[in-house]
A and B are shown apart, each in its own frame.
Chain A
Amino acid sequence: MLRTALILMLRPVLWLVLGLSIAGRAHLPRKGPAIVAANHNSHLDILVLAAAFKREALPLVTPVAAADYFLATPLLRFIAQKIIGIVPLDRTIRAGSDPLQGARAALEAGRILIVFPEGTRGAPEELGALKSGLTKLCRDGNIPLIPAYIQGAGRILPKGTRVPVPFTCTVLIGRPLQTSTDRAETMAALSAALDTLKAAAPPLHWD
C-alpha cells in the first residue's frame, strides 16, 4: 500500500527530474508469477523499473536483492524489507541451503520478481556477464521471463556515489522470452534480448 502510493507519487517527479520514459510498457506483466530480468548499475534501477509497472501490478512487484548488502544494517534492512519488500538472496554458497528458496516461494505466491542477473551494479552503463541462477526459477514452470534494459540510472547514481546528478533515464522493456529447459539456451536468449534493447536506447556519449 505504502509502497504503491510512494511510487505513484514519485512518478511525476521522475518524469520531471529524470525525464523518465518507458518503451514497450505493454510487455510488462500485470500479474504473476513472472520474472523481469534487468541490467543493474544503480540503486535507482529498482525505483525506475517499479515506476514502469501498471498500478494494479505494483503490489506484486518483488525485487530479489543481495542479503549481504541489504540486510547488513538495521536502517537498510528496514528500507529493504518494509518499504521495498525485497526477497533476500544469499550470495554466499553454503552446503545444504537453497539460496533461491525465498524467490521460489514468492513466485508460487503469484508475485512478479525483479532480478538483476549481473548480480552486482558493476561499471556504470555497461552490461556485465549474466549469472544463470534465474534459469532455476523459470525452468520448472511456465513462468514468463521479461527482459528490461535501464539506461541512465548508472549515470545518475553510479556505484560509489551518494549525490544523484540528473540525466535522462530510459527504460526499455522487451517481449517475454521463450524459456527453455536448457540453461545455456535461456541465458543466450536473455543476453541477446538485453543487447537488442541496449542498442535501441538513445546513444550515450560518455567517457
Chain B
Amino acid sequence: MIDTIPHQLLYGFAAILALLVVGSVAAMKLQAIRARVVTWWVIAGALAAAFVIGKGAVVVLFALISFMALREYLSLAPTRREDRAALLLAYAVVPLAYLFIWLDWYGVTLVAIPVYAFLLLPAVLVLNGRTRGYLAAAGTLHWGLVVTVYNLGYAALLMNVPNQEAPAGGAGLLYFLLVVTALNDVAQYVCGRLIGGPKIMPSVSPNKTWAGFLGGCVMTAGLVVLLAPIFTGLPAVAVGLLAVLLPVAGFAGDVTMSAIKRDLGVKDTAKLLPGHGGILDRVDSLTFTAPLTFHVFAFFSSARF
C-alpha cells in the first residue's frame, strides 16, 4: 500500500515525525507541554493510518471527529429537555452527511445540511409543542451542525479531488490543510508568548496579542508559499490569496469558539484530549480553514468541483 502513496506525502509525514521527535525532546525539559505532545503523537498516528488505508478511512475518521465535536457542542450549548428526539436526529445527520461525501455526491453534500437539515430539524423541534426558547433551540442546533459537521466535512471532501488535479492528489490537499492549520495555531500561540504586547481581543481571549496574530500570519503565509506548490499546484494568485486568508480564518475559528466558551462559562470544551482540552478546542480553526481551502482550490484548480 505504501508505494501507492505520493512521495510528497511520505516526505510530509517524515517532516511531521521530525517535528514530533523535536517536540518530545522539548517535552523532556518542559513538563507543561508533555501531555500535549503525547496527544499530538496520537493525532498524527491516527491521521497517518487513515491516509495509508485510503479515502474510506479518512471519511470515517472525520465522521468520528465531527460526531465528537457535535457531542461536545450539544453538551455545552443550552438545550431544552423536550428536544431529545431532535438532538438524536441531529446526530444521525453525521453519518448521512459523510456517506454523501464518501459517495462523492457533491451537489447533495452542498445542500444536505445548509438546506435540508436546516428545514428538517426545526420541523421536528416544533413537534413537542414547546414554543418558549424555540428560536434559540433551532438556531443553536443549526450553528452546531454547520460548524462541526458541514464545515469539517470539507476536509474529508478534499479526498474526492481527482488525482490529476493536484500534485499529490486529494490526500496531499488534506495534508496541506491540516498541517498549515495546525502550525498556524502553534505559530500564533508561540509569537504571542514570545513577543507579548497589546492584547487583540481581551474580552474574548485574554491571552491573544496583536503580535501573536500578526507574527502568526507572517509565519503561516511563509508556510503556505512554501507548501502550496508542493501539495496544491495552485496558481500564484490563489497561493497569495490563501497565504493572506488562511491564517486569518484560523484565528477567526479560534476566537469564535472562545467566544462561545466564554458565553457558556467554560475554559475548555471538554477534557478528552490531554493537554488540548476537547475535540472542539482542537478543531476550532479547522472549521473555518477547511471550507476556505476547499473553495479556493475548487475555484482556481478544479474542473471537478
Contact = CB atoms under 8 A, between A and B. Distances in A.
Whether chains A and B associate is yes
Interface of A: 15-19, 21, 23, 124, 152, 155, 161, 163, 165-168, 170, 202-203, 205-207
A203 B268 CA distance: 11
A165 B74 CA distance: 11
A205 B271 contact: no
A19 B272 contact: yes
B68 A19 contact: yes
B71 interface: yes
Interface in B35-92: 64, 67-68, 71-72, 74-81, 84, 87-88, 91
A15 B272 contact: yes
A201 B84 CA distance: 22
Nearest to A168: B75
Contacts of B271: 21, 23, 170
A18 B270 CA distance: 11
A161 B83 CA distance: 13
Contact of A165 (B72, B80, B84, B133): B84
B88 A165 contact: yes
A207 B80 contact: yes
Which of A19, A23, A206, A207 has most B Cβ within 10 Å?
A19
A155 B279 CA distance: 20
Contact residues of B: prevailing secondary structure: helix
16 contacts: A16-B64, A16-B68, A19-B71, A21-B270, A152-B75, A165-B91, A166-B71, A167-B74, A168-B270, A170-B271, A203-B76, A203-B266, A206-B78, A206-B80, A207-B78, A207-B133
A166 B79 CA distance: 13
Interface residues of B, number: 26
The 9 closest A-B pairs by CB, nearest first: A205-B78, A168-B75, A21-B271, A167-B75, A203-B265, A166-B71, A165-B88, A165-B84, A19-B272
B6 interface: no
B300 to A, nearest CB: 37
A129 to B, nearest CB: 22
A19 B64 contact: no
A166 B264 contact: no
Contacts of A155: 75
Contacts of A202: 75-76, 266, 270
